[in-house]
Amino acid sequence: MTQDVHQTRAIATAWFLAGLGAVPFVAMALGQAIVPGFANAHLGGDQAFLGYGAVILSFMGGVRWGAALAPSSAPTSAETMILSVAPSLAGWLALLIDRPWSLLLLLVGFILQGAWDVASARNGSLPSWFGKLRMVISAIVAASILIVLAA
């Protein structure tokens, strides 16, 4: 197989997995909007939504950490390494504070992380396809958080 085929498969896999990762956000947001009492459900609701959001936001920071350490990447700056840890800290803090601030912190975290990823894809620090993926997924996650806030 050629390098192009491997790259195409990797990109398709990334889109597929990112889409699967968005499903819990959408499902829990719709659950809170449609089902009375869902916010207090044991296997759903606010606690599950916040926990999942914190984990995924932390993962997004880890993606940036990994990209910064990749052998083919530009020289790693201290600022990039520091910023790549911020999503984990924001996610953890969101678990410790009350609603609506917890949800607002996740919302801001996902928007800022998505904007950084898109900007990095535009300037060539990350692949262009990754910027498009992050724009779409960030919009889905932000919309889900807004639905939960409104529920």
Enter the pTM of the model: 0.90
Q: How far apart are the first and last CA of the chain?
A: 49
Distance from C-alpha of 83 to C-alpha of 136, rounded to nearest angstrom: 22
SS3 100: coil
**What percent helix, strand, coil does the chain show, rounded to 5?**
80, 0, 20
Print pLDDT tens along the chain (151 aa): 577 888 899 999 999 999 999 999 999 999 999 988 877 776 678 889 999 999 999 999 998 888 877 766 556 677 888 889 999 999 999 999 999 999 999 999 999 999 999 999 999 888 999 999 999 999 999 999 999 999 8
pLDDT of residue 76: 65
DSSP 130-148: HHHHHHHHHHHHHHHHHHH
> Which helix or strand (DSSP H or E) is residue 22 part of?
helix 3-34
